[in-house]
Amino acid sequence: MAEAQRTGTYLQRFPGSSTPPAEGTESEQLKIIELEESTQMLTIKNLHATVEGTPILKGIDLEIKPGEVHAVMGPNGSGKSTLAQVLAGHEAFEVTEGEVLFDGQNLLDLEVEERALAGLFLAFQYPVEIPGVSNLQFLRTALNTRRKANGQDELDSVSFMKLAKEKAKQVDMSPDFLKRGVNEGFSGGEKKRNEILQMLMLEPRLGILDETDSGLDIDALKVIANGVNSMRSDDRSFIVVTHYQRLLEHIVPDVVHVLAGGKIIKTGGKELALELEEHGYTGLGIDDAEATG
Amino acid sequence: MTLAHKTPQVTLEPAFTPEGGKLLPQPLRHLRDIRSKALTEMVLPNRRTENWKYSSKYLKLDESLAPLTQGSGMAVGRAVEGAYRVVIRNGVVDRESSVLPDQKGVEIQRFTDLDEVTAQSVARKLDTVIDNSTTQIAALNTARIEDGLLIRVAPDTSVDHPIYVQCVTDAQQSGSNYPRVLVEAGNGSKMTLVEEYLCEGDEPVLVDAVTEMTLDSNANVTYIRLCMEPDNVRHVGATGVRMADGANLDSHAIGFGGDLRRHDLQVRLEGENGFARLNGIALTQNRQHFDNHTAIEHVVPHCDSEETYRCLAGDKSHAVFNGRIHIHKDAQQSHADMNNKNLLLSTNAEIDTKPELEIYADDVTCTHGATVGQLDETALFYLMARGVDRQTAASMLSMAFVHELVGQVPLEDVREVVDVRLNQFIEASFKETNA
C-alpha cells in the first residue's frame, strides 16, 4: 500500500536526514544537503515545549513538503493546539528543546509577526473579538504589511475592497461583516469563516487550522473546506489540527498523524483517520493517562 | 451654502478691554460683585478638598488670576462649514469672527448687550443650574466674568445648524479668562452645541469655563465639549444641565490632557421620562493631568441615564474619573448605567477611578463598572499573528479603545478634528514607549 510505504518513509527519516552524502567535493555535498532540506517546507525536530513549567510537547518530529496537507489528530489534551500555537509563536509556551525550520529559516528565532510575514498562518481555535477595529481595517493593515514585506506595492482602497468582497463571498460572508469590529458579536461559525477569509486574503505558504471544525454545522464546515481546498496548490501546505475525522472528509489529507501525550505516536494515510473514527483513540492503545500526558 | 459669508444678524458692540465687568448690564454686574466679595472668604480647592484631592496642586490660582485682555486678535479659532459660530476670545465674545443664525426662534446674545429685563433673568439663573458648593470653579467664574453668551431656543424650534462656541485663549501673556455660556432650550426644541476650547500662544494661562443649560419639556440637546488646548493651558470647567420631563441630553466630553484639565459635569433629571447620555474621552501623555468629575441626579421617577467614560493614559501622566449617581428617594423606576474603562499605556502612568452611587429608592436598576487595565495580550497576539508588528498592533488597539466613543459623536466635522489629534496622540505615545 502506498500509504503504508509513505508512513514508513516518514518514520524512518528521523532524526535528521538518513541519506548518506553523495560523492563529490565538500561544497557539492553541502549543496546537496541544502537541496534536500529545501524540499521540505516545514521541518520539526524533537520539539519540546512547556507551559508554566509543565511539559506539553515531548519530542515532536514532523516534515511537510510543499503542497501537502497533514492532519494532526489526537484526544483532548494531547498537545495538538499547543503545537499550532508554538509554531505561531505564542508567548505562553516555552520551547525547551528542538528546532523548527520553515523554508530553511529557523522559525523559533522569528518574532510572531515575522513568522506571519514569512508565510505562516494560524487559523485560531478561538478567534479574538476586537471591538473598535473594523474587520476591513484589520484585513487591510495585515494584507498591506504582508505585501510590503514581499516587496509589493500596497493595495489602494478600491482594489482592496474589491478583493475583500470577492473573498468574503467565497466564504459565504455578507459584506456587512467587513465593516463590523473584528469578530465582534460574531457567532462561532462566523468567526471561523472570518479566519478562512483572512487566510484567503493573506495567501500564506503554510496554513495551520487549529480545530477550525469545532462547533460548526455541516454547511459551515463545507464552506470552510471549500475555502481551504480552493487554496491547495503545489507550493502551499496545510496542517489541519482536529479532534474528529469529519473535517477530513472534506479536506482530504495526504498524511495523518496521531498525537498523544505530547508525541506523534502514529503516522499514516487518510485511512488512519477513518480507523480512529471507528475504534476511537483507545483503539490505538492510547489510554487516558497517556493522552493527557 | 457657506455660512461663513453670512452677515451676522445680531449687533454686538466692538471689542473692548476687560474692565472688571464694568460693561456688563447692572444686574449681572451686581451678581459679579457679590461673588467677588465672597471670593475673598471662599476656601479655594486645596489638598483637603475631597473632590479636588488629585488636582488642586496643579491649580496654582494665585499666579495667574490677572484677567487677560482681548489680546492681539490673532487667535480667532477655526472656520466650520455649515455651522454657526461664536468666538469667545479671552472670555469676551468677538463679534468680528462670529457667524450667527438669523433663524426665527433662535436668539444668541452676548451678556454685555443684554437689555435690563433679560439681564435680570440671566442674573437670576446663573449659578442655579450648577451646584456651587461642589464646583468652586463656577463661583470663581461668576466673580470674574467680563462677558458671556446667552443662547435661547424658542419652543418647538429646531436650530438648523450646529452652533459652535469656540473659546479661544490668546496666551501671548500669562493670565486667566472666564468664558460663560447660558443655554435655554424651550419646550420641544432641538439643538446641537459644540464647545471647542482652543489656545494660541504658549504662556501659562488658566481658563475657567462654565456652561449652564436648562432643557424644558421634551427639549433635545446634543452637547459636545472639546478640550483641545495645548499643555500651557490649565483648564478648569464646569457644565450644569437641568432637564424637565421628556428632555433628552446627548453629551460628549472629549479632551486631551495638559498641565491641568478638570471638567465637572452635573446633570439633574428633574422631570419624568428624561434621558441623559454622557460619553467622555480623556487622553493624557507626558506629565499631563486630567480630572473628570460627573454627577447625575435622578430626582424624579422614570428617567434613564447612560454614562460611558474612557481614558488612555501614557508616559507619566495622571487621569482621574469620579462618577457620582444619586437616585433620590422618589426616583423609582430609574435606570442608570455607568461604565468607566481605563487603559494604561505605560507603567508610570496613573489612573484613579471612583464610581459613587447613592441610591435612596428601592425600585431602580443601577449598574456600574470601572476598570483600569493594560492592552489585551490575546488581542495583541492575534494581530501580530497576521503580520502586524507589536507597536502597530498596540496603537490599533489603543485607538479602538476610544474610537468606539468617537464614532458615537453625531457630527462628522468633530469626529474628523478629534481623529487627527487622536492619531497624533497615539503616534506620540508609542514613539515614547519604544524609545
Q: How far apart are CA A23 and CA A8, in angstroms?
A: 26
pLDDT digits (tens, 9 = 90+) for B53-72: 899 888 877 655 677 876 55
Q: What is the pLDDT of residues A97-126, one digit of tens each?
A: 999 999 999 999 999 999 999 999 999 999
Ordered by start, the domain boundaries in chain B are 14-271
**Size of chain A in residues:** 293
Burial profile B372-386: b = 16 or more Cβ within 10 angstroms, e = fewer: beebeeebbbbbbbb
List the 116-175 stretch of A: residues with Cβ below 8 A of B: 116-117, 121-122, 124, 127-128, 130-133, 137-138, 141-142, 145-146, 149
Kindly tell me if the per-residue pLDDT of B421 is higher than 90. yes
The 10s digit of each residue's pLDDT in A257-276 is: 999 999 999 999 999 988 88
Dihedral pair phi/psi, residue B243, rounded to 5°: -120, 130
Among A110, A113, A180, A197, pick the best mutation site for testing chain B contact (most B Cβ within 10 A).
Answer: A113
Rounded to whole angstroms, how far apart are CA atoms B264 and B295?
8
State pLDDT tens for residues A169-219. 999 999 999 999 999 999 999 999 999 999 999 999 999 999 999 888 899
> What confidence score (pLDDT) does residue A12 get?
36
Question: What is the distance of C-alpha B55 from the center of its chain?
Answer: 17
- pLDDT at residue B54, rounded to an integer: 92
Q: Are A70 and A239 in contact (CB under 8 A)?
A: yes
Mapping DSSP to helix (H, G, I), strand (E, B) and coil, where does residue A82 land?
helix
Which amino acid makes up residue B286? N
Per-residue pLDDT of B76-133, as tens digits, reads 778 888 899 999 999 999 888 888 888 999 999 999 999 999 999 999 999 999 987 6
**Statement: residue B202 has pLDDT above 50:** yes
- CA distances to A7, A111, B25, B26 from B183, rounded to whole Å, are 82, 56, 18, 20
Report in angstroms the alpha-carbon separations of B83 from B192, B252, B363, B409. 10, 18, 43, 16
Q: What is the pLDDT of residue A227?
A: 94
Binning pLDDT at 50, 70 and 90, where does residue B135 land? Answer: low
What is the amino acid identity at position A89?
G
Separation CA B408–CA B397 (nearest Å): 18
User: Is B321:B295 a contact under the CB 8 Å cutoff?
Assistant: no
Please report where in the chains the cell 459623536 appears, as a residue: B409
* Sign for the pseudo-dihedral over CA of A236, A240, A245, A246: negative
> What would the pLDDT profile of B4-37 be if each residue is shown by its tens digit?
333 333 323 333 345 677 889 999 999 998 888 8
- 3-state helix, strand and coil shares in percent for chain A, rounded to the nearest 5: 45, 25, 30
Q: What is the pLDDT of residue A52?
A: 93
Average pLDDT over residues A86-95: 95
Percent of the residues in chain A that have a pLDDT greater than 70, as a whole number: 85
Mean pLDDT to the nearest integer, B236-256 = 97
Cα A167–Cα A173–Cα A175 angle in degrees, nearest 5: 80
Q: What is the pLDDT of residue B70?
A: 63
Separation between Cα atoms, residue A122 and residue A124, nearest integer Å? 6
What is the architecture, at CATH level 2, of domain A64-91+102-292? 3-Layer(aba) Sandwich (3.40)
Amino acid at B296: I
Give the pLDDT confidence of B265-286 residue by residue, as tens digits.
999 999 999 999 999 999 999 9
When pLDDT is averaged across residues A230-254 and rounded to a whole number, the result is 94
ipTM of the complex: 0.86
- For β-strands A42-51 and A54-64, DSSP reports them as antiparallel
Q: What is the pLDDT of residue A289?
A: 43
Size of interface A-B (CB pairs under 8 A): 74
Residue in B386, B390, B395, B408 to test binding to A, most A beta-carbons within 10 Å:
B386
Residue B41 has pLDDT above 80, yes or no: no
Domain spans of chain A? 1-39, 64-91+102-292
Q: Which of these, B49, B167, B180, B55, lies nearest to B111 by C-alpha position? A: B180
- Residue numbers in A near B388 (CB within 8 A): 113, 141-142, 145
Question: Which residue's C-alpha cell is 502597530?
Answer: B392
How would residue B136 be classed by pLDDT, with cut points 50, 70 and 90? confident
Q: So what's the pLDDT on residue B174?
A: 87
